[in-house]
Amino acid sequence: MKKLVNAIAMALAFTGTAGALQAVHAADYKPRIIRFGYGLAEDSNQGRAVKYFADDLNKRTGGKLKAKGFASASLGSDTQMQNALIGGAQEMTVVSTATLVGIVKDFGVYDLPFLFANEKEADAVLDGPFGQKLAAKLQDKGLVGLVYWENGFRNLTNTKRPVAKLEDLQGIKLRVMQNPVYIDMFNSFGANAVPLPFSELFTALETKTVDGQENPVNTIQSSKFYEVQKYLSLTKHVYSPWIVLASKKWWDGLSADEKKAIQESAAASRDYERKDSREAAVKAVDFLKEKGMQVTVVSDAELTRMREKAKPAFDKFAAEGGADVIKDLQAEIAKVRK
């Protein structure tokens, strides 16, 4: 009897596997190589997530759709890769939402300081109606927004002095993303904001062209900024998402089955990346301490001062046409908090 049960189980398992393989073969997949460029190193959380996406898509399509990762901005800066996607010269990338502001201005809303209290709030807003509506605006510009990944809460580093209060930022040449919200915010904090592409940042720090920068702790670790930076201040001043993009020119030429597979693999990679990113962030601060960085935990009272000082960034963004998108985002955050 036991043998019969085992035989039936094996037959069912075989039938299930055969059915799954049959479904893959029946689907409308063509052999394709997908160039997936990204800015960070291969061994970063970004690199691990690109590999996860590639492996998942390979399995999902029976090896027909093969994504090949290009790390360390080898295909260009975020802005250059976005342009390559728009022109159809590259298939996929993952970039900071901050670099999309020149294409869809409303993306600047994610760069406003002290919006989200925690990652759970950010996930709910990004994956919900607000985040999806904003991503959909990219289609008219030649890009398809697939999913949001986590870059994380941004923190400050520099070589001049520990930053425990606003006054400590006075005169520090701080690299920021090429985004007006960041430039205005850090200038209001007393720093000298210097916009630079991420791909030029390590060299700028090494040559003392800039004194400091601001990024999540995972990026500070994976980009080895601890080699050229002494002081880390945990400010969590902005929650920074990444967005996985596809070229619309390329996307429009895919079959419905191919689009579905890529979308499903992108969603699987999002869940993997967020979990991986959060686990890595916990370890990153200890790692940076071991590497000799002096870590300052900025007090709640001082963060409140920073929040107040940053309010003009909201007013300016609203005055320049962002009032509706701020209102929608704040309404969505309020819903999540209930």
CA distance 70 to 66: 13
What is the helix (H) or strand (E) element at residue 193, kind and residue range?
strand 192-195
Residues near 28 by Cβ (< 8 Å), separated by ≥ 6?
Answer: 255, 256, 257, 258
Q: Where are the domains of the chain?
A: 29-107+114-151+241-283, 155-238+285-337
CA distance 151 to 220: 11
Q: Return the residue matching tokens 């925690």.
A: 118
The whole-angstrom distance between residue 305's C-alpha and the CA centroid of its chain comes to: 27
Q: Report the chain's mean pLDDT, rounded to a whole number.
A: 93
CATH code matching the domain that covers 155-238+285-337, chosen among 2.60.40.1080, 3.40.50.1970, 3.30.2000.20, 3.40.190.170: 3.40.190.170
Q: How do the pLDDT tens digits run along the chain, 338 residues long? A: 556 556 555 555 555 544 445 556 678 999 999 999 999 999 999 999 999 999 999 999 999 999 999 999 999 999 999 999 999 999 999 999 989 999 999 999 999 999 999 999 999 999 999 999 999 999 999 999 999 999 999 999 999 999 999 999 999 999 998 888 889 899 999 999 999 999 999 999 999 999 999 999 999 999 999 999 999 999 999 999 999 999 999 999 999 999 999 999 999 999 999 999 999 999 999 999 999 999 999 999 999 999 999 999 899 999 999 999 999 999 999 999 99
Closest CA to 39 of 69, 68, 78, 82: 78
What's the CATH superfamily of 29-107+114-151+241-283? Answer: Bacterial extracellular solute-binding protein, family 7 (3.40.190.170)
CA distance 85 to 125: 26
* Strand bridging mode 155-158 / 212-215: antiparallel
Write down how long the chain is: 338
Residues near 214 by Cβ (< 8 Å), separated by ≥ 6?
Answer: 154, 155, 156, 157, 174, 175, 176, 186, 235, 237
In DSSP notation, 142-168 reads: TEEEEEEEEEEE-EEEESS----SGGG
The whole-angstrom distance between residue 199's C-alpha and the CA centroid of its chain comes to: 15
**Under DSSP, is residue 192 helix (H, G, I), strand (E, B) or coil?**
strand
Closest CA to 280 of 151, 156, 126, 123: 151
pLDDT per residue as tens digits for the range 236-260: 999 999 999 999 999 999 999 999 9
Amino acid sitting at position 283 = K
**Under DSSP, is residue 208 helix (H, G, I), strand (E, B) or coil?**
coil
CA distance 72 to 41: 5
**CA 83-87-91 angle, 5° bins:** 85
Asked if the domains at 29-107+114-151+241-283 and 155-238+285-337 fall in one CATH topology, the answer is yes
Closest CA to 213 of 227, 198, 41: 198
